[in-house]
Structure 1
Amino acid sequence: MNFRLASAVKHFGQIRHASAVAASAQEVLAAGNQAAISELSNGFRVTSVENNRHVSTIGLWLDLGSIYDDAHLNGSSAFVEQLVYHGSGGKAQLELELAKLGGRLSSYTSREHTAFFVQVPNAGVEKAVALLANAVKNPSLDNSAVEAERNVLLRKLAESESNLSEVALDNLHATAFQGTPFAQSPLGNTNGLTNISRDDIQSFLKNHLQPTRIVLAGVGGVNHERLAALGEQHFGSLTNNYERKIPQYENVRFTGSEFIYRDDSVPYIHGAIAVEGVSQNNPDALPLLVASTIVGGWSNTSNVNVNAPSTLVQKLSILPALKSYQSFSINYNNTGLFGFQWVSTADDQADVMEITGLIQRQWKSLATSVTNDEIDRAKNLLKSEVLAVADDSTRFADRIARDVLNTGAPVQLADLDKAIQKIDSGSIREAVSRNVYDRDVAVATVGRTEATPLYAAVRYGQSWWRL
């Protein structure tokens, strides 16, 4: 009796402690992490979070990515990212000017966006905005700059081939969204990068470098009114006059298919399997993210195996063929991908099919019998991730800027935390049943692909109810 009483008291104390922590997290997210947004008369938008840190992340995010490249000129967005540096006398010169402020420059191009941002002490925010604005508005388009960056981009493309997991994910997009802009790689392709001319880039910029397609974002010790004034100062004169065609966000078509790229010099098979996911705005986006977190991931370098809290990891970790796997739920503006990647030996196709079959059965379990323990673990992981975003000014700025470009407004982290907390077994079962169960799949493999699972078997596994 005494043991049971002590156990109950201890358990009660844990509940009270967990509740206090949850309340504290809500307070942290609600106070000092509220994102503000304003819009200039020309449609240029400014979003920011003032959290009184000594260092701020300031940047420009553009609605410009590989989905807007012409099919025969895939790589145009990547060219723009590189050429922007030349607008201030070259990347080295721009980095030198920012370094004088104590800043560090970063940039990226994705399928939907291109971003340029810098971490800088608060005293250097105004100068950093001026430097970034000049670089983005006045990129160098002389032939020598274009040719120099062509070589850089072709080298980057060649180097990317060594990251086979990324190659598999890129090929997954290529087959899943074949015949649509989402099949195009943010890195471009050899044909596009080789043939893009200075005039092509100039035309591309005139189509896309419009104020309604640019967001100035800042997180740190930056006042929103001051940042909005800087936006007006540097971008208020831009107009939305499209001399050529208005960029369109084309409809996306998912195709159940496979992309197999055999390279026997690779010791393993790197693969990815996915169904069509949902857009960022879709009500099922968050339940599917929780579901993907439940599926989780594992690597043979991890100490977690049969002692893992996840039964799926317990089953997969004892398979000698498996080297690693990772679940994902990717949300774009009007589509997505829900699936997983894996790396395994390729000695026996049956071994690979056992790996993919176990994960597919986990998908069906999510649609029928997901447990509260699994959901709570996944929600706690995601809520921790929300706190991590709040603590990282660069990730925070990137998130709110992409929110504004995709949805028109930043998602408040406190609201996101509350939305995660509301996810239950019913919402996960419904979301997985609607979007995953008995849906066509796309499969991509790279390396020793003779062990690629039979497509018909993978597709059949989507509708087989036996768990």
Structure 2
Amino acid sequence: MTTNDLQAQQLAPRLHKSVLENGLTVISRETPGTGVATVQIWVNAGSVYEEPHEAGITHLIEHMIFKGTPTLGIGGVAGAIEAVGGRINAYTSFEHTVYHATLDARHWSLAMDVLADAVLNSLFDAEELEREKPVIFEEIRMRKDRPELHLFQELLGRAYTTHPYRLPISGSEESVGGISREDILAYHERHYHPENFTIVVVGDVDAAAVLAQSRRLFGELPRSPVAERDLPPEPAQDDFRFFLEEQSINQTHLALAFPIPAFRHPDTAALNVLAHILGQGEASRLYERLRHEQGLVYRVNSSLFSSRDPGLFHVGATLDAVKSREVLREIMTEILALQHFPVSEQELERAKRNLEADFVFNLERAEGMARVLGNFELLTGDPREHDYLERIRAVDTSDIIRVAAAHLQPSGLTA
């Protein structure tokens, strides 16, 4: 046992983090008396790391992880968790894949056993692989059939010209159809090793026991060389981009995007507050002006797409086609106003309170707390949300004007 293992760092009351000798990270948050636990394995493997011929392989592996191991047959991974009244699932993002189970805290060690077995020992049976591909194809078609999801993917494909954020996480039917068992084994060997694993356990558990179980299951894995994160940087956008797609649907969907810095940038907190003021909730400027006062839209909202690399400030609306020009003009008017006129203290404080309330809501349940810890660990190297919340609390009216002027310029707009 290394010195680092022996001295698992207590980052906050009941929040512990340690790094095993082989590079694996273990984070635990004790919530005594709750009776519930969530176990999550975060893998630093997302769609941005795929080679062109592997498009969609990360998401395909997420599906195949549940298709059996030498000790757990087909259906056995989920069955072992469900047998004790728990639930198990997984999801894939641009940057990472997360396997997670939530159950009675008495069975948290079983959940870690099962997830570790699935992540490390999946069979990736060739026949099961071919049976699973049509499931992926159906997911791809369903996303295309949902106008808002389809439009956001098209927006990413225009706002990014070189960075892999422009590519669908699920790949295409053609790319997924061509993936073989050998491709999966090669990708798994390249990415599924201890330096790319973060174990997050939240609930009515003991931190020392979580660390001991993590060492038992993962501690003997050999350290592997980690490939450098060599993704093509997105060139600066210097001119407005517009695209239009015609479909036979009842309502028109509008999406706008401006390039913003990566999550770790000091402006992210102010941009998050700005997004709340502009278009989150019925009291936001866009909802009040476009929906309540003028009746121009059925829905409007703004949000951040923010991750390890530069992201997007996104505004979306649902409307009638004949009102598109007017809605676009009104949205840009509100954005330009934020660059020149201070928001009221009431607006600012409401936005900051709402943001903080969102965090508190997520932290009330074991799953949400684990998700916050994992996200902050992978994005910043520190699982605590405290520093980010402090930056949100510190945002003032001048910060809103500054970040709006710096990042929401028409020359960077994709619509």
TM-score by length of 1: 0.80
Note if contact 1:35-1:410 (Cα within 8 Å) is conserved in structure 2: no
Note if contact 1:37-1:45 (Cα within 8 Å) is conserved in structure 2: yes
Q: Distance in 2 between matches of 1:277 and 1:374?
A: 22
Q: Which residue of the other structure, out of 432, 441, 444, is the alignment partner of 2:404?
A: 432
Counterparts in 2 of 1:367 and 1:166: CA distance versus 1, 3 Å: same
For 1:389-435, what per-residue CA distance to the aligned partner results, in whole angstroms no more than 9, with x for missing partners? 1102111101111221222121234x443332211112222222222
Q: Which residue of the other structure, out of 119, 125, 144, is the alignment partner of 1:136?
A: 119
Structure showing greater relative contact order (alpha-carbon pairs closer than 8 Å, 6 or more residues apart): 1
User: More displaced, 320-329 or 331-340?
Assistant: 320-329
User: More displaced, 119-128 or 266-275?
Assistant: 266-275
Counterparts in 2 of 1:77 and 1:390: CA distance versus 1, 3 Å: same
Q: Which residue of 2 aligns with 1:324?
A: 299
Aligned positions of 1:312-461 closer than 5 A:
312-317=286-291, 318-346=293-321, 348=322, 351-369=323-341, 370-413=343-386, 415-443=387-415
Note if contact 1:208-1:247 (Cα within 8 Å) is conserved in structure 2: no
Note if contact 2:38-2:103 (Cα within 8 Å) is conserved in structure 1: yes
Q: Which residue of 1 aligns with 2:3?
A: none
Counterparts in 2 of 1:134 and 1:435: CA distance versus 1, 3 Å: same
> Where do 5+ consecutive residues of structure 1 fail to align?
1-30, 299-303, 444-467
Q: Distance in 2 between matches of 1:248 and 1:196?
A: 23
Q: Which residue of 2 aligns with 1:6?
A: none
Q: Which amino acid aligns with 1:434?
A: A
Note if contact 1:277-1:337 (Cα within 8 Å) is conserved in structure 2: yes
Aligned positions of 1:295-310 closer than 5 A:
295-297=278-280, 309-310=283-284
For 1:258-304, what per-residue CA distance to the aligned partner results, in whole angstroms no more than 9, with x for missing partners? 443321x2122222111112211110010000000001246xxxxx6
SS of the residue aligned with 1:231?
A: helix
Q: Which residue of the other structure, out of 260, 271, 287, is the alignment partner of 1:288?
A: 271
Q: Which amino acid aligns with 2:266?
A: P
Q: Which residue of 2 aligns with 1:60?
A: 41
Q: Which residue of the other structure, out of 68, 71, 82, is the alignment partner of 1:87?
A: 68
Q: Distance in 1 between matches of 2:199 and 2:108?
A: 12
Q: Which residue of the other structure, out of 164, 176, 181, is the alignment partner of 1:193?
A: 176
For 1:147-171, what per-residue CA distance to the aligned partner results, in whole angstroms no more than 9, with x for missing partners? 1121111111112222211111111
Note if contact 1:32-1:51 (Cα within 8 Å) is conserved in structure 2: no
RMSD: 2.1
Counterparts in 2 of 1:139 and 1:393: CA distance versus 1, 3 Å: same
Q: Distance in 2 between matches of 1:210 and 1:175?
A: 34
Q: Distance in 2 between matches of 1:312 and 1:97?
A: 48
Q: Kindly indicate whether residue 94 of structure 2 is the aligned counterpart of residue 111 of structure 1.
A: yes
Note if contact 2:62-2:91 (Cα within 8 Å) is conserved in structure 1: yes
Counterparts in 2 of 1:406 and 1:249: CA distance versus 1, 3 Å: farther
Q: Distance in 2 between matches of 1:204 and 1:311?
A: 46
Note if contact 2:68-2:75 (Cα within 8 Å) is conserved in structure 1: no
* 1:439 Cα offset (Å): 4.2
SS of the residue aligned with 2:162?
A: coil
Q: Which residue of 1 aligns with 2:4?
A: none
Q: Kindly indicate whether residue 55 of structure 2 is the aligned counterpart of residue 74 of structure 1.
A: yes
Note if contact 1:73-1:192 (Cα within 8 Å) is conserved in structure 2: yes
Q: Distance in 2 between matches of 1:90 and 1:422?
A: 53
Give me the identity figure in percent: 23
Q: Distance in 1 between matches of 2:171 and 2:404?
A: 33
Note if contact 2:287-2:299 (Cα within 8 Å) is conserved in structure 1: no
Which one has the largest radius of gyration? 1
Q: Aligned pair count?
A: 397
Note if contact 1:61-1:116 (Cα within 8 Å) is conserved in structure 2: yes
Q: Distance in 2 between matches of 1:207 and 1:32?
A: 34
> Where do 5+ consecutive residues of structure 2 fail to align?
1-10
